[in-house]
Amino acid sequence: MGNNLDALTTVFTEFYYWVTVVFMFLIHVGFCLYEVAASRRRNHLHTLMKNTMVIPLVTVTFFFFGWWIYFAFPNGPWIFEGKGIDFAAAEGARPWDDNMGTNLSDRINGVFWAAFLLFSWTAASIVSGAVIERIRSGAFWLLAVLIGSGTWIIDAAWGWHWDGWMVKLLGYHDAYASGVIHAIAGGFALGVLVVLGPRLGKFRPDGTARDIPPHNTWLVTLGLFLIYTGFWGFYAACNVPIISPEGIGGQITGETWTATNIYLAPTTLSAITFNFLMSLSGGLMVAFMVSKGDPFWTYSGGLAGVICASAGNDLYHPIQSMLIGGVGAWFAYKAHFWVERKFKIDDAVGAVAVHGYAGFLGLIICGFMLWGQPSSPYEGYATINPLGMFIGAIIMFGVLGFVPAFIASKILDGFGMLRIPRKVELEGLDFEEEEAYRDALDEVREAEKAMVA
């Protein structure tokens, strides 16, 4: 810190990211509530623990290697101008570097790491809901690490980094992660589901789908409300809160300090506040209409609305955001049931649709809406364009989402590690615990009765 202004800026930024992390924690709380509510009573405990253990497993692996990947892989490696792994840029992100701990000359690394880490939890948690009631927890946790500390952070290095090759070559723009979190997680979930198969009883003998309703609609809605709340932190965490023109390599002239998106291009907290609320509203309104007031899909549609508009929510007009949010909710709802009917995919919480399809569509829309706008303040970068955004959507949903999940699931399935046995699925994952619980209650009751004189 060179002077008091630098000190103030640094400490403000440190605190800013710290607050976003606390808010984002609510996303995980929301996902846990929502997932448990969507599962049947006989699977509650395992469902809860499956998602809860994402927290420590993704955290330690993100510390061990995930954070390093972000700085080492912006060029592919070997995708952009033949440049390999950027070992120099990634110094400081290795677990043994001295700024990966208490260090008075670096106050940002830990909170910045945590902001990215919370995105990692979200990516894994999105997948968690889709596969409930039949996946082995051990298999899911390996898959969670694969996306949480592997594929998502590769996509962040490629398309959510001021120096990422997708930004430079394709003009990729994804300010609030329609693709880099949501499309990849949706694609990943789909890759697992294709191998995992549907829950027993999901489809009738004639192939039509049965509804397996959430056991507790209240808890679903509470979970989704918490996800909305955490999403505020997520949005704020996607911004650099304050930076001087010199901090952006002198590309921006003058003396006006600004907030920027992750690409260091100017935006404002005001803009994203308008657009978050308007896209949420557009999504809720259309989802209510298209689902005829179904609470589960109305709430999910609100989320799909935000996700669809997120790629360009740093720059859209609020009414544009609202309309894009509405389109995203409509598309997610229709695509979910079409895929379910056509391909017999049992996505228990609609995660592939809400995150994957809405995120994918959001990238395409962004390509048209922001066509020709600079993707970066730096010279020589491609401008935002529909083709680049379409290729980006394929990379996020397919190349880094669906494909690795499909391959990893096939391997796990080959070893008999992916799905629980039929008998266990029918009696419920918590069968043993439930029986022990009932036995304990019976024993205590009998003992207490015997004590009555």
**51 CB contacts (<8 Å, ≥6 apart)?**
28, 31, 32, 35, 125, 128, 129
- Asked if residue 298 binds other proteins (CB under 8 A), the reply is no
- Asked if residue 323 binds other proteins (CB under 8 A), the reply is yes
- Asked if residue 256 binds other proteins (CB under 8 A), the reply is yes
Shortest Å, Cβ 374 to other proteins: 5
Shortest Å, Cβ 84 to other proteins: 29
Q: Which CB atom, from 13 or from 267, has the smaller least distance to other proteins?
A: 267
* DSSP character at residue 333: H
Which residues inside 325-384 make contact with other proteins, applying CB under 8 A? 326, 369-374, 376-377, 379, 383
Shortest Å, Cβ 431 to other proteins: 29
Piece in contact with other proteins (CB under 8 A), picked from 8-16, 18-26, 72-80, 284-292: 284-292
Q: Which CB atom, from 39 or from 321, has the smaller least distance to other proteins?
A: 321
Shortest Å, Cβ 235 to other proteins: 17
Total number of residues that touch other proteins (CB under 8 A) = 35
Calculate the alpha carbon distances from 126 to 95, 108, 139, 318, 420 in Å.
Answer: 27, 28, 15, 27, 20
Kindly report the number of other CB atoms within 10 A of residue 339's CB atom: 18
Q: Which CB atom, from 317 or from 438, has the smaller least distance to other proteins?
A: 317
Q: Which CB atom, from 10 or from 383, has the smaller least distance to other proteins?
A: 383
Residue 199 one-letter amino acid: R
- Asked if residue 150 binds other proteins (CB under 8 A), the reply is no
Piece in contact with other proteins (CB under 8 A), picked from 133-141, 159-167, 303-311, 321-329: 321-329
Task: Specify whether the backbone of 438 is left (phi greater than 0), alpha (psi in -120 to 50) or beta.
Answer: alpha
Tokens describing residue 88: 């120099």
Sheet holding 258-260, edge to edge: 240-243, 258-260, 266-267
Kindly report the number of other CB atoms within 10 A of residue 178's CB atom: 33
Piece in contact with other proteins (CB under 8 A), picked from 44-52, 181-189, 309-317, 408-416: 309-317
State the Cα angle at 149 between 312 and 80, rounded to 5°.
60
Kindly report the number of other CB atoms within 10 A of residue 165's CB atom: 22
Piece in contact with other proteins (CB under 8 A), picked from 49-57, 254-262, 390-398, 429-437: 254-262
Tokens describing residue 69: 């990947």
Shortest Å, Cβ 299 to other proteins: 17
Residue from 320, 359, 361, 393 touching other proteins (CB under 8 A): that is 320
CA distance 339 to 436: 40
Residue 300 one-letter amino acid: S
Is 286 exposed, middle or buried, given 0-12, 13-18 or 19+ CB atoms closer than 10 A? buried
Residue from 3, 4, 105, 253 touching other proteins (CB under 8 A): that is 253
* DSSP character at residue 17: H
- Asked if residue 241 binds other proteins (CB under 8 A), the reply is no
Q: Which CB atom, from 109 or from 373, has the smaller least distance to other proteins?
A: 373
Shortest Å, Cβ 37 to other proteins: 21
Tokens describing residue 377: 């303040």
CA distance 260 to 135: 41
Piece in contact with other proteins (CB under 8 A), picked from 72-80, 86-94, 216-224, 310-318: 310-318
Q: Where along the sequence are the contacts to other proteins (CB under 8 A)?
A: 245, 251-256, 258, 265-266, 282, 285, 288-289, 292-293, 312, 315-317, 319-320, 322-323, 326, 369-374, 376-377, 379, 383
